[in-house]
Amino acid sequence: MLNVVFVAIEAVYGVLSGSLALLADAGHNLSDVLGLVMAWVASWLATQKATDRNTYGLKKSTILAALFNALFLIAAVGGIAWEAIGRFSEPAEVTGLTVIVVAGIGVIINGLTMLLFMKGQEGDLNIRGAFLHMAADTAVSVGVVVAGLVILFTGLDWIDPLVSLVIAAVIFMGTWQLLKDSLSLAVDAVPRDINPQEVLDSLKGLPGVESVHHLHIWGLSTTENALTVHLVKPDPSSDDQIIEQATRMLASDFNIQHVTIQWEREASNCPTLAYC
Angle at 213 between CA 210 and CA 214, to 5 degrees: 155
What pLDDT is attached to residue 167? 75
Angle at 214 between CA 210 and CA 220, to 5 degrees: 125
What pLDDT is attached to residue 161? 79
Average pLDDT over residues 75-87: 79
What pLDDT is attached to residue 262? 92
pLDDT at 20 over 70: no
Indicate the average pLDDT of the chain.
80
pTM of this structure: 0.71
pLDDT at 221 over 90: no
CATH entry, 2-186, from 3.50.30.30, 3.40.50.410, 1.20.1510.10, 3.20.20.70: 1.20.1510.10
What pLDDT is attached to residue 198? 95
What pLDDT is attached to residue 253? 93
What pLDDT is attached to residue 82? 82
Burial code (b: 16+ CB inside 10 Å, e: under 16) for 238-257 equals eeeebbeebbebbeeebebe
CB 222 within 8 A of CB 62: yes
pLDDT at 124 over 80: no
Confidence of residue 190 (pLDDT cuts 50, 70, 90): very high
CB 274 within 8 A of CB 212: yes
Average pLDDT over residues 210-230: 91
Would you list the domain boundaries of the chain? 2-186, 196-264
Q: How far apart are CA 273 and CA 276, in angstroms?
A: 6
Q: Which CATH superfamily is domain 196-264 in?
A: Cation efflux protein, cytoplasmic domain (3.30.70.1350)
pLDDT at 187 over 70: yes
Question: Within 13 Å and on the Cβ side, how many CA atoms surround 138?
Answer: 15
* Bigger pLDDT: 91 vs 261: 261
* Bigger pLDDT: 156 vs 17: 156
pLDDT at 272 over 60: no
Average pLDDT over residues 136-162: 78
